[in-house]
Amino acid sequence: MAQPGKAKFEVIEGGRTLERRAVLKDLYSKYGGSVYGRCQYLLRDKNQAEDAMQDVFAKAISSYSDFRVDSSPLNWLMKIATHHCLNVLRGQRSWRRAHERARQAQGDPPHGPHSLEIREAVRHLLSRFDLETQAAAIHYHVDEMTLEEVAAALKRSVPTIRKRLQHFAEESGQEWK
């Protein structure tokens, strides 16, 4: 029996599932394009990007309990997308073979004859760093996030992110000379 003045709550079967689906639908409609853009930027293949985007949202719904309410949903999804795409790239036997197939299928790259080589060089450069440094560099340089936003997205301190980005800049500066 409910106490006077207290609301009586009933457990509805499947209620949590319905809530998660509604949240996922909302996240997908708001941020699906951004997640797809990140996946396409990193993977450089429309089909892989579409698959990756679906995987990102599947991971988001399965790890929804890890989402901190005080953080940005976009940052959280971008973090999942970045890690997922980097894992996809790492899992491929040969990045060059995959990009060569994509280039043949699409013709010349849209940004000039040397852009494929530049992207390949950037991917090669990124592959020399650990996942967290890769993610920090992409968030900072590609997404143009602030140090504070990168730190929040990666759950690290600002000095740690600053140190990783400084190391990345030093190493990549030597590579490009």
CATH code assigned at 150: 1.10.10
Domain end among 91, 117, 137: 91
Q: Distance from first CA to last CA of the chain, Å, rounded?
A: 76
Residue 110: inside a domain:
no
Do the beta carbons of residue 44 and residue 119 sit within 8 Å? yes
Domain end among 91, 113, 147: 91
For residues 71 and 59, give the distance between their C-alpha atoms in angstroms, rounded to a whole number.
Answer: 17
DSSP secondary structure string, 98-144? HHHHHHHHH-S-TT-TTHHHHHHHHHHHHHTS-HHHHHHHIIIIIS-
Do the beta carbons of residue 136 and residue 150 sit within 8 Å? yes
| Structural domain boundaries, residue 140 | 128-177
How many other CB atoms sit within 10 Å of the CB of residue 14?
8
Residue 161: inside a domain:
yes
Do the beta carbons of residue 56 and residue 39 sit within 8 Å? yes
**Mean pLDDT per 10-residue run, the chain (177 residues)?**
43 52 83 93 90 90 72 87 87 58 57 64 83 88 84 90 88 58
User: Is 141 buried (19+), middle (13-18) or exposed (0-12) by CB count in 10 A?
Assistant: middle
pTM over 0.85: no
Do the beta carbons of residue 129 and residue 171 sit within 8 Å? yes
For residues 149 and 82, give the distance between their C-alpha atoms in angstroms, rounded to a whole number.
Answer: 15
Task: Name the domain count of the chain.
Answer: 2
